[in-house]
Amino acid sequence: MEWLLVGLLVPVAAASGYLAGRRGSEKSSGQRVTRLTSSYFRGLNYLLNEQPDKAIELFLQIAEPDSDTLETQLALGNLFRRRGEVDRAIRLHQNLFTRPLLSAEQRSLALVELGEDYLRAGLLDRAEALYKDLLQVDGQEAIALRQLIEIYQQEQDWDSAIAAAERLCESGDCSNTALIAQFRCELADRALEQGDHEGARSHLQRALNDQPDCIRAELQLGKIELQHSRWQQAARHFERVARQDPDYVSEIVKPLLTALDALGDRRRARKLMCELSQHERGSASLLGLVQLIEREEGREQAINLLAERLHERPSVRGVRHLLDLSFPPEADRESVALVRDILDKLLQREPTYRCGRCGFRPRALYWHCPSCRSWGTVKPIHGLVGD
C-alpha cells in the first residue's frame, strides 16, 4: 500500500517542481527549481533504498506548499485519506472549498472529496448533509445519490435508501433495482420482528415487483405462508426458489417437504425431489428423496439408492445419512458411534456458506456479506463437505 501511495505522489511532486519553476522571476524560479529538484531526487533515493515512509514525507513537503492547482490539491487530499490522515484531508478540502476563485464545478469537486473524507471518518451526519447539498448541483446528482444510498445502508435507514435509489433510477440509472429489493426485504425482516406478518408480506411483494427473481423475497414469503399453514402458497414460493437458482435448493427442501406432506401430496413431493436432485450440486434434494423412499418403500430401498448416488457424487453429509440408515443410533456399536462422531465434527467444523465475491465463509446465510458488504453474493457451499 505504501508503494502505491508513493506512486501516486511522485508525479504530484514532479508537477509541483514544474509549476514552481514557471512562477516568479527568473532568478527566484531558478533557485526554487534547484531546491525542488534536489528534494525530488532525495525522495527517489529514499525509494531506491527501500525507505518509502521517508520518501512519502519528503514528497508531501514538496507538494503541499507549492501545489496551487486544484488537481494537485485534490490528489494530495486523496493521498492523506488513503494514509488514514483523514483530519488532514478534511482541512485541505475545506480550505479548497472556501477559495474565492473556484468555479462552481471545481467547488463541487472539492465537496465530493470532502464527503469522502467524512465517510472515512465515520461522520455520517456531516456527509449526509453535504451530499444533500450536492443534489442541487448540476452534474453531481448521481454521485450524491450513490453516496447517500451508502450512508443510509450504514444507518439501516431502509426507507431513505429506497427513496434515494428510486430517485437515481428516475434520473436514468436503474442499475439498483436488485438493491431496492434487498432493502424491502430488510423492511420485511423488521416487520416480522414486530409481529407484523401482513406488513412483511406487503414489503416482500413490492420487492418482487422491483426484482421478479428475488430469491430472498420468495424464500421469506414461503416461510411466512408456512407459519400460517397456507401450504399450497408456501410450496409455490419454495418451488420458485429452486427453479430460479438451484444453489439455494438446500434452503428449501425441508420446508417444501413439510408443506407437501401437510397437503398429502407425496407424489408431487417425490417428483420434485427427483427433478431437483438431477440439477442440484449439493445433496439436500437427494436426502429428501431418500427420506420419501424410506417412508414409502422401506429402509433397504432407501439405502440402495443413497449408496448408488454416493458413488456418483460423494458427500460427507450423504455418508452420515447412510450411516444412520444402516446403523440406527439405538443399535450403535462403539466403532459406528466413533465414525458418526467424527463425521459430525467434520460437518460442524466446516463453513456452510461462501461469498462469491470476497470468499468470506460463514456458517449462517447472510444476505449482506459482512466482509465485502455485497448483497446476495453469499450462497450455500456444495461439494464433498458441503450441503
Give the percent of the chain with pLDDT over 90. 43
Model pLDDT for residues 14-24, shown as the tens digit of each residue: 444 444 444 44
> Is 30 inside any structural domain?
yes
Residue 127, domain CATH: 1.25.40.10
> Is 279 inside any structural domain?
no
In contact, 179 and 152? CB cutoff 8 Å: no
**Residue 114 contacts by C-beta under 8 Å, 6 or more apart in sequence?**
90, 93, 94, 97, 130
Task: Please tell me the predicted confidence (pLDDT) of residue 199.
Answer: 96
Task: Please tell me the predicted confidence (pLDDT) of residue 126.
Answer: 78
Domain that holds residue 369: 350-387
Q: What is the number of alpha carbons within 13 Å of residue 165 lying toward its C-beta?
A: 23
Task: Please tell me the predicted confidence (pLDDT) of residue 150.
Answer: 87
Structural domain ending residue among the three candidates 170, 190, 216 = 170
26-40, 44-58, 129-143, 172-186: which is most confident: 172-186
Q: What is the number of alpha carbons within 13 Å of residue 325 lying toward its C-beta?
A: 23
Long-range contacts of 106-109 (CB under 8 A, 24+ apart): 106/70, 108/134, 108/137, 108/139, 108/140, 109/70, 109/74
What is the distance between the alpha carbons of residues 95 and 110, in angstroms, rounded to a whole number? 9
What is the distance between the alpha carbons of residues 385 and 340, in angstroms, rounded to a whole number? 15
Q: Which three cell numbers stand for residue 373?
A: 458488504
The pLDDT-based confidence of 271 (bands split at 50, 70, 90) is: very high
Give the percent of the chain with pLDDT over 70. 68
Mean pLDDT of 70-87: 68
> Is 122 inside any structural domain?
yes
The pLDDT-based confidence of 134 (bands split at 50, 70, 90) is: confident
In contact, 250 and 282? CB cutoff 8 Å: yes
**Alpha helices by DSSP H, the chain:** 2-22, 26-48, 52-66, 70-82, 86-97, 104-121, 124-134, 141-155, 158-170, 177-193, 197-210, 215-227, 231-244, 249-263, 266-279, 284-297, 299-312, 316-326, 334-349
Model pLDDT for residues 54-72, shown as the tens digit of each residue: 655 555 555 444 445 666 6
> Is 129 inside any structural domain?
yes
Structural domain ending residue among the three candidates 144, 170, 196 = 170
Model pLDDT for residues 211-227, shown as the tens digit of each residue: 999 999 999 999 999 99
What is the distance between the alpha carbons of residues 157 and 151, in angstroms, rounded to a whole number? 9
Asked if the model's pLDDT at residue 365 lies above 90, the reply is yes
Per-chain mean pLDDT for the chain: 80
Q: CA-based angle 251:253:254, to the nearest 5?
A: 95
Q: How many CB atoms lie within 10 A of CB 204?
A: 28
Task: Please tell me the predicted confidence (pLDDT) of residue 107.
Answer: 66
Residue position matching grid coordinates 465537496: 111
Asked if the model's pLDDT at residue 259 lies above 90, the reply is yes
Residue position matching grid coordinates 427513496: 163
What is the distance between the alpha carbons of residues 352 and 354, in angstroms, rounded to a whole number? 7
Structural domain ending residue among the three candidates 137, 154, 170 = 170
Counting Cβ atoms within 10 Å, is residue 136 exposed (0-12), middle (13-18) or buried (19+)? exposed
Higher pLDDT, 179 or 25: 179
Residue position matching grid coordinates 519528503: 58
Report the candidate in 44, 50, 45 with the shortest Cα–Cα distance to residue 9: 44
**Number of structural domains in the chain:** 2
The pLDDT-based confidence of 152 (bands split at 50, 70, 90) is: very high
> Is 110 inside any structural domain?
yes
Q: How many CB atoms lie within 10 A of CB 232?
A: 12
> Is 114 inside any structural domain?
yes
> Is 271 inside any structural domain?
no
Asked if the model's pLDDT at residue 377 lies above 60, the reply is yes
Task: Please tell me the predicted confidence (pLDDT) of residue 282.
Answer: 83
Identify the weakest region by mean pLDDT among 14-28, 104-118, 209-223, 366-380. 14-28
Identify the weakest region by mean pLDDT among 138-142, 205-209, 316-320, 336-340. 138-142
The pLDDT-based confidence of 94 (bands split at 50, 70, 90) is: low
Task: Please tell me the predicted confidence (pLDDT) of residue 211.
Answer: 95
Higher pLDDT, 130 or 285: 285
> Is 46 inside any structural domain?
yes
The pLDDT-based confidence of 346 (bands split at 50, 70, 90) is: confident
* Three-state SS at 379: strand
